[in-house]
Amino acid sequence: MAMVARWRRHLLWLLIGALGAALIGIILLNVWPQENQLEQRLGHVSAVESAQFRREIGTLLGPSVSVGNAVADFQNGEEIFPAMLAAIRGARHSINMETYIYWSGEVSKQFIAALTERARAGVKVHVLADWLGSTRMKQDAIDALRDGGVRFEYFHPLHWYSLDRINNRTHRKLLIVDGEVAFNGGVGIADAWEGNGMQPDRWRDMQFRVEGPAAAQMQAIFGDNWLATTGEALLGPDYYPETPARGDLAVQAFASSPDGGSENMQLMYLMAINGARRRIDLEAAYFVPDELTLTALRDAMKRGVRVRLVVPGPHVDSKVVRNASQAQWGAMLQAGARMYRYQPALFHNKLMIVDGYLTIGGSANFDNRSFQLNDESNINIYDRAFAAHMTEVIDQDIARSHELTLAQWRERPWRQRVFDWLSSQAAEQL
């Protein structure tokens, strides 16, 4: 009997070991994207101002470039939240919001009040929050939304049967009202985004409002993840009305996801970099590009493109990401880039302007996680006047930054160099 008991214990431990190994294998397989990724340089790309560039972008990324749009930018929470809340309060038919961060607090209460008021008035309201990014959302906030008539769901909540998707998060920050007005950018629904971008414990960030046909493209992006989460397709004129022109801007909304089109975001940036002929202005909250993207930037500088790069300064939320980013600053500085570290606050901007014509903004960071692992959403705006305005925004950020020189980068203490190198080895997951 004793021998039988020992064999049973051995078999139990073998079973536990096998299950543990299987679990680790599932997680490790999920850590890296499964689709084939971009591995080679793109070669010649037409200039971003050319009709050929817009034709190729419209074909490769899915949605075509739509005309007849109006776009406004809002800087920091003091401008962003009032604009978003005003749009919500003016909703007549539908409100759809997708966000990575939704944390309990005063900002959360304002959104709950506005969303539930509209839901009680008969407006169809859907909120999709990332399970991991919104772990600081308390249950009473979720209950308040649902009790108020809001359809609230988590994107990829943690279950034993969904461990293979644990590394795929929605990093999108979308708000679409009546299918006609849409917001996209980097803001989270949290008190940390309040203020004017000048406080060390607050985020410097921006959000774009698009009115016109391109709003339908953002509606479709939200609808795709809502369908994947709930099995429900959002259709009809409440979501996709006939939308007249609201302005004269050409805008394209596009998305990326590991479940399909994971290369869209990186492909867009690579095409924009290779299509640059004169200058690139880039603001990156997390600047940890892979070798292919880093090479594209260096090649651009070799052919005479001026590159300015604004990155976080002393205030950061992740030292590991900051260290991994620092490891690559030398290559940019050696190639001729001018780099600036934003000083007053946490820096969360995601913005690129190419040749004073193409403006790219949205949720995607300049790193592998945004390029390959997250669900992201950006917009392209093709207009010289709008690009000039956004260049002024970058100039204002540069005025609040300290320029970093190659000599200063080389003078880092040896311990910092070691930390930077070690952090850069985990760049695939940052």
Which residues are catalytically annotated? 171, 173, 178, 348, 350, 355
Where on the phi/psi map is residue 203: left (φ > 0), alpha (ψ -120 to 50), or beta?
beta
Q: How many CB atoms are located within 10 Å of the residue 6 CB?
A: 10
Nearest to 345 by CA among 401, 295, 296: 401
Pairing between β-strand 376-382 and β-strand 358-362 as defined by DSSP bridges: antiparallel
- Residue 165 is given by DSSP the state G
Q: Where are the alpha helices (DSSP H) in 151-261?
A: 214-230
Distance CA 80, CA 112 (A): 16
Among 289, 369, 380, smallest CA distance to 335 is for 289
Tokens of 191: 């008190």
Structure tokens at 265: 């975001």
**How far apart are the C-alpha atoms of 98 and 111, rounded to whole Å?**
13
Q: Report how far residue 189's alpha carbon sits from residue 160's, in angstroms, rounded to the nearest whole number.
A: 28
CA distances from 21 to 13, 28, 32, 165 (A): 12, 10, 18, 17
Whether residue 359 contacts residue 380, with contact meaning beta carbons closer than 8 Å, is answered with yes
In angstroms, the CA 81 to CA 97 distance is 13
What percent helix, strand, coil does the chain show, rounded to 5? 45, 25, 35
